[in-house]
Chains A and B, each alone.
Chain A
């Protein structure tokens, strides 16, 4: 239990450090990305993705197991257009405005930018309101 917790903590720390040092947690980099003014963000997402695609293929074909001995499996996502497109656009509007997505916002909190707490609490509120309206929204 303790060992597992430390593992997750270290993975999170690696993620947090990477988000900060890559500047993917910087509002300015997100703005620059949406302005198509630099390759930086596209390079980060693109290289992560290129490696990720190969990684998933290798894991599937070689039936690689996780540390518990279970074969690593991937559950396909339910198909829909409205849900992903509308939800995606709403998320994108927030991403462009606040300049942080749900990982980096916590990195920024650790880096000491306290106003990001307003963004985090509002994101919780947004999640809650989605939960309340879920049955009335097209999915």
Chain B
């Protein structure tokens, strides 16, 4: 029993994944710095952050592949290294970021191999069908496209019909169509009640798939909420970005009607805006008053990317 759980809670509310004060160092580099998180059963939880933020390290600790330097980890209520590791692994589905499967085995041979490690689960053919690779089942892994390889990798994680599915940047480097196919796979897994732990540096992926998102930077969670709430925390659902050719006094911007936040960006400003139709005329009038020449103005619906920028002052790509 975790001490923080309320005594009246039914057992099913025990988190599927839990870590407290997780810390991992590589030499003098702190990869994970006192990280806490809790993922409920049936939830899809996203770790979002730039490369090197500590996402993979966190996930690999949860998967029992790395040992943390400090902190507590519970997976389905169990600790790693307590003698029940192999039983726990029976219930997990894991896809690693960099794994390359044996090139000269066919899709079916690969899935059958992975299936043999587990006591229960669908047949190899059912798994292959679920990731839409039945036409490729006799093809060698080396002959598959990037998207097909990634689906095979997810298939290997689904052979035991796991309770928790870990996906580490499953769509990195894939074309949009392959990405959408993978998203559908993940959504189908969730409909069966599975718990998903996902890392990504794609905002739209986190927004589409995740119930809650933790934004990770330098090994710490700097924000954690539903995608909608995180976006709402910007103070507006729209973002107006602009730059001016010459200097500008940003002080009055915050007071403009409809503007709820102001962020300095490398090449201008980003305003969090509730009502663009009110805020944009007011902005133009203010620029006119300051005799500033507008060199660029764009507007878009706020995304998690804007949340990251507002929290760190960096874009995900520069970070």
Query: Real complex partners, A and B?
Result: no
